[in-house]
Amino acid sequence: MSCEHANNHKDGGFGVSTKLNVLEHVMVPDHQIMSEDEVKQLYSLYSISSEQLPKIYHDDPSVKTIGAKVGDVIRIIRTSHTAGRAESYRLVIKRPKK
C-alpha cells in the first residue's frame, strides 16, 4: 500500500483519483501561487526578504494540491472574523527530517 500511495503523491492530484481535494473543504482557505512580479511587489511593500515571510511545508496537503514548489510564495485568502477578508502570504519550504 505504501508504495502505491507514494506514486499517487507524485501526480499532484491530477488524473482520476478518489482522493479528497482539500481545497474544496469548507474549512480550507483559498491558496494561490503568486507570480514572480507579485512576489517582488510583496517584498517591496513590506520591505522584507523571503526569509521574513511566514513558512509552509512543501508537503502541506493544500500546497501539494495547487502544485507549488519549494521557494514559491503562496497567497492565502481567508474569511476573517474581524476584517471579513484577510490575505496572508507564505513561503514554501522543505520539511526538515523528523
Which residues form the interface with other proteins (CB under 8 A)? Answer: 46, 48, 51-54, 78, 80-84, 86-89, 96-97
Cell of 19: 482522493
Radius of gyration of the chain (CA): 15
Instruction: Name the residue nearer to other proteins (CB basis): 20 or 86.
Output: 86
To other proteins, the closest distance from the beta carbon of 50 in angstroms equals 11
What is the full DSSP assignment across 84-95? EEEEEEEEEEPP
To other proteins, the closest distance from the beta carbon of 87 in angstroms equals 7
To other proteins, the closest distance from the beta carbon of 31 in angstroms equals 15
Cell of 37: 512580479
Instruction: Name the residue nearer to other proteins (CB basis): 13 or 32.
Output: 32
Instruction: State whether residue 1 is helix, strand or coil.
Output: coil
